[in-house]
Each structure stands twice: as structure tokens, then as C-alpha cells.
């Protein structure tokens, strides 16, 4: 509920948020603690409750950024906060085992059908590293295939070709490697081959010539880090077939899709059994917890101690109690939370698309009800290269107009939906979308 002194939306460019940001920049590099937050307005929040965030100016936003996906139950969900608070009194970290670990592992494996064994960590980036390492150890092969436009964390070896320049001279396979950060080792990704996604021919061509050196394929099952693009019918099945045929480990990076597009992640929706999969974000409802799970034969390589996966804070009590409470909330009442999220998300997707048609805007809404992407395409979009033709400037104007009306998708145009979003939120959001489309023309 809004207080009388609270405003809906605002102009963060001329505000306390801006002043805070200037002060923060004098002490914190860039005034932010994750480079992803450099883009977008310099907003400074004081609190969140349910689907709403309040900033230092008293502006209230309907939040669809949801911490970049994690807060699937909304901000400060009572059941999770209560469980974490209860556990806090027992301690933080024991450098040894505690009973919550098995409890969470059992609940987790009941949700994820490919999970025979699991390991917990803190972030998606590090569990991706564990996945790649164990895949190499299991196969005894060096190379990993990743796809253009996909993001698997910020570490040297894998932070490549997220948004490279589109190759001018045709369609080289593999793509020229494009490092995304200053200071990245140019050799850390020597054993990563980059291919276009959603392209069966590219996979067959590359694997046909190199199968014996390929340890793994890592893929976002839905390309949420570029355009919310769905896999073409049969594409994930093809990846499964070709990897099985050549004893290549298939890794699904379900950091965004896991516990979000369905309780069992994208692998449940597409009915594919990856060898390994990585989870984070919605798994902990906003608390730092991640997981790597998969086939027993592969995961056993950690058990022998032959493959190292470590971390001081792994499976700490706060993270695991949050995960436990979150899983219980997501599974309660025959997954009522997912029914709610899916109906809210569908109403938003349909409503935004209808507003686009009403105002003659080439507005595309793609993805799943629980997470979708809006953009202004100039042609059909099915992969990274086709996504780059969309009108990014127009998207920027659309997102700014929404923010000023109190609606906050991510600064890249992705919308995450929580179980806390209400029908009233949907109605206010669709009004804001219409106003934004009118304004940007
Ligand atoms: C698909 C995917 N994988 C991995 C990561 C990295 O996860 P984290 O930010 O928890 O390190 C992200 C983060 O956005 C992601 O979207």
C-alpha cells in the first residue's frame, strides 16, 4: 500500500537518487557493485514489499526487475523472511555439515528431474565453472561449445560473445572469439568454441568435424540474456541427440529459467534431460544460493575429491533456509504460486502486445509468462544476429517512459513476474504501457 506522501514513478535524473549516486561514486567504483547496474537510471532504493519498490525520493515502482530475476515470491516474502530469521539464531556457518543441506537437497531433487546428485554454491557464475570443470574431467576432453548472445557469468573463460559485433563477412563457424571485458585473459577461452544458437546446421557442421575434442555444450534453454528468444521446435531435442551420440555433456544453464518458467525449469517444459544443469536466482527467492545438479556418474567426480568444487560460504544457513522456504512456497497448494505467476504474466504479455497493435508500434513480446522480453524488431528474430536489428533506441525511450510512470522492467527490456504481482499491478502497468507508446510515437 502506498503512503500518502509516496509518488508513483518519478524522474530519477533529478532527484535524491541522483545525489546519492554522485556521493556513492566518490567511494564505490562507479557507484555500483555490479557492472550490470551501471546501465539504467542511478536509482537508489530504500525498501521493497511484494511487487513494489520504494526509492529514496519516495517514488514507488511496480518492480519487474525483481533483483534481475530472483525475487519470484516478491520482495520480503513473509514465509521466507520468517524461516531465515528463525535459522539465523542457530548460527551462520559451521565449516561442516548441517541437516538443512540434506533437507534442501531432497526437496530440490524432487523438483528437478535430471538431478540425481547436487552440490550447492552461492552464484550462477561459480556453479557454471564447476559444471565446465567436471564435464572436462568426465570426458577427458578440452573443448566447450557456448552460444552467441548467451551469458554464463562474468569469469574470464566464459564472458565471451555476449554481444559481439555481428560478423560482417558471412557466417563463420565457429564465430571469432569476442572478449567482453578489459583485463580478460585472451587465453582463458582458448578451449571455448562459439556457435550461433537455434541453428541445427551449425551444430552438426562443428560437431561433425570436432566431436572427439568436445567435452560439453552449455546453453541457456531459453535465450533470456538476448531477447527472450525461445528455442525453435526440435532444437533442444537435437542438442540432446547429438550430445548423447558423441558422449558430450549437455549442460543447461537454468540460472534464469530454473524455478521460474516452471517448478522443474525449462527442462520440464521441453521434456529434455540434460546431463548437468545450473540453478541460482529464483531458487533462493532473492538470497544468494546456487546449485549444480545432474547425472550421478558425472557428479560423483566431486565426491571422490578428484574434481575440486569449494567455497567458504557454500551451503551457509541463511542461503539454505531461504532455499528451503522458497521451495516450500513454490510447491505449496499444488504449485499455486506458479499458477498465479503464469496467469499474471500471460495477462501482461497479451496486454502489452495488444497495446502495441493499438498504437501501431512494432512491439514484440517474447518468452514465457514468468519472464518475457519486449523489443521493437525490424524483422523476424530467432537468434543473436537477428536480435541486433531491433531498434534499441526506441526500446530505451519506451523503458524510460515506463519508469517515469512507475513501472520498472530491467534496463534491457526483460520483465520478470512474481507471485506477488496483483491484478491491480497488471492494470496499472498496461495503462503505463499505453501512455509510454503514445509518448514515444
Ligand atoms: C543464464 C545465466 N547464467 C549465469 C549467470 C550468472 O549468475 P550470477 O550472477 O549469480 O553469478 C546469469 C546471471 O544473470 C545468467 O543469466
pLDDT score at 4: 41
pLDDT digit string, tens, across residues 41-56: 589 999 999 999 999 9
For ligand 1, pick from 255, 279, 286, 290 the residue to mutate: most ligand atoms within 8 Å of CB. Answer: 255
% of residues, the chain, pLDDT over 90? 93
CATH of 7-76+335-440, picked from 3.30.450.40, 3.90.470.10, 3.90.1150.10, 3.40.640.10, is: 3.90.1150.10
User: Strands across the sheet with 117-121, in order?
Assistant: 117-121, 290-294, 276-279, 249-253, 214-219, 143-147, 192-195
Third-level CATH fold of 78-329: 3.40.640
pLDDT at residue number 169: 63
User: Which residues surround ligand 1 with Cβ inside 6 Å?
Assistant: 68, 123-125, 128, 151-153, 220, 225, 253, 255-256, 280
Residues 152-209: tens digit of each pLDDT: 999 999 999 999 998 666 689 999 999 999 999 999 999 999 999 999 999 999 999 9
Q: Residue 171 has what pLDDT?
A: 82
| Residues involved in catalysis | 151, 253, 281
Ranges of CATH 3.90.1150.10 domains, the chain? 7-76+335-440
The whole-number pLDDT of residue 9 equals 67
212 prior amide bond cis, ω within 30: no
- Per-residue confidence band for 12, with pLDDT thresholds at 50, 70 and 90: low
Q: Which residues contact 298 (CB under 8 A, 6 or more apart)?
A: 134, 135, 138, 249, 275, 276
Choose among 258, 292, 246, 283: nearest CA to 115: 292
**Interatomic CA distance for residues 279 and 281, integer angstroms:** 7
First to last CA, the chain: 32
Instruction: Give start-end residues of each CATH 3.40.640.10 domain in the chain.
Output: 78-329
* Mean of the per-residue pLDDT values of the chain: 95
The whole-number pLDDT of residue 309 equals: 98
Angstrom distance (rounded) from CA 78 to CA 420: 11
CA of 287 from ligand 1 middle (Å) equals: 14
The Cα 265–Cα 267 span in angstroms is 5
Atom of ligand 1 nearest to the CA of 288: 10
| Ligand 1 centroid to residue 124 C-alpha, Å | 5
Amino acid at each position: 500500500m502506498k503512503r500518502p506522501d509516496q509518488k508513483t514513478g518519478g524522474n530519477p535524473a533529478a532527484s535524491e537518487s541522483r545525489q546519492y549516486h554522485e556521493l556513492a561514486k566518490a567511494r564505490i567504483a562507479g557507484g555500483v557493485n555490479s557492472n550490470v547496474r551501471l546501465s539504467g537510471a542511478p536509482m537508489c532504493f530504500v525498501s521493497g514489499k511484494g511487487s513494489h519498490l520504494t526509492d529514496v525520493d519516495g517514488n514507488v515502482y511496480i518492480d519487474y526487475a525483481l533483483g534481475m530475476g530472483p525475487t519470484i515470491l516478491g520482495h520480503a516474502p513473509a514465509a521466507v523472511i520468517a524461516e531465515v530469521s528463525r535459522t539465523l539464531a542457530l548460527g551462520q556457518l559451521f565449516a561442516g555439515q548441517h541437516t538443512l543441506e540434506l533437507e534442501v537437497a531432497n526437496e530440490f531433487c524432487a523438483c528437478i528431474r535430471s538431478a540425481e546428485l547436487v552440490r550447492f554454491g552461492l552464484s550462477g557464475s561459480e556453479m557454471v565453472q564447476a559444471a565446465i570443470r567436471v564435464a572436462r574431467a568426465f570426458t577427458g576432453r578440452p573443448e566447450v561449445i557456448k552460444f552467441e548472445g548467451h551469458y554464463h557469468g562474468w569469469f574470464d573463460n566464459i564472458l565471451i560473445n555476449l554481444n559481439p559485433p555481428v560478423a560482417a563477412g558471412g557466417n563463420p563457424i565457429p564465430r571469432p572469439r569476442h572478449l567482453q571485458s578489459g583485463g580478460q585473459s585472451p587465453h582463458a577461452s582458448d578451449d571455448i568454441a562459439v556457435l550461433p544458437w537455434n541453428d541445427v546446421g551449425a551444430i552438426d557442421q562443428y560437431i561433425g568435424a570436432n566431436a572427439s575434442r568436445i567435452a560439453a555444450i552449455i546453453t541457456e534453454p531459453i535465450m533470456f540474456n538476448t531477447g527472450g528468444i525461445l528455442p525453435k521446435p526440435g532444437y533442444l531435442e537435437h542438442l540432446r541427440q547429438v550430445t548423447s551420440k558423441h558422449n558430450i555433456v549437455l549442460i543447461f544453464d537454468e540460472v534464469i529459467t530454473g524455478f521460474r518458467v516452471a517448478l522443474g525449469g525449462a527442462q520440464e517444459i521441453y521434456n529434455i534431460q540434460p546431463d548437468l544443469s545450473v540453478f541460482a536466482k529464483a531458487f533462493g527467492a532473492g538470497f544468494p544460493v546456487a546449485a549444480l545438479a545432474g547425472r550421478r556418474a558425472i557428479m560423483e567426480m566431486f565426491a571422490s575429491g578428484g574434481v575440486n568444487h569449494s567455497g567458504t560460504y557454500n551451503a551457509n544457513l541463511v542461503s539454505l533456509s531461504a532455499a528451503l522456504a522458497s521451495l516450500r512456497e513454490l510447491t505449496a497448494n499444488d504449485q499455486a504460486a506458479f499458477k498465479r505467476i503464469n496467469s499474471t504474466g500471460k495477462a501482461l504479455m497479451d496486454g502489452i502486445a495488444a497495446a502495441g497493435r493499438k498504437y501501431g508500434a512494432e512491439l514484440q513480446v517474447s518468452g514465457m509468462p514468468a519472464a518475457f522480453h519486449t523489443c521493437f524488431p525490424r524483422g523476424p528474430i530467432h537468434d543473436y544476429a537477428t536480435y541486433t536489428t531491433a531498434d534499441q533506441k526506441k526500446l530505451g525511450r519506451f523503458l524510460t517512459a515506463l519508469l517515469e510512470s512507475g513501472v520498472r522492467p530491467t534496463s534491457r527490456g526483460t520483465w520478470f513476474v512474481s507471485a506477488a504481482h496483483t491484478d491491480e499491478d497488471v492494470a496499472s502497468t498496461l495503462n503505463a504501457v499505453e501512455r509510454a507508446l503514445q509518448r514515444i510515437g
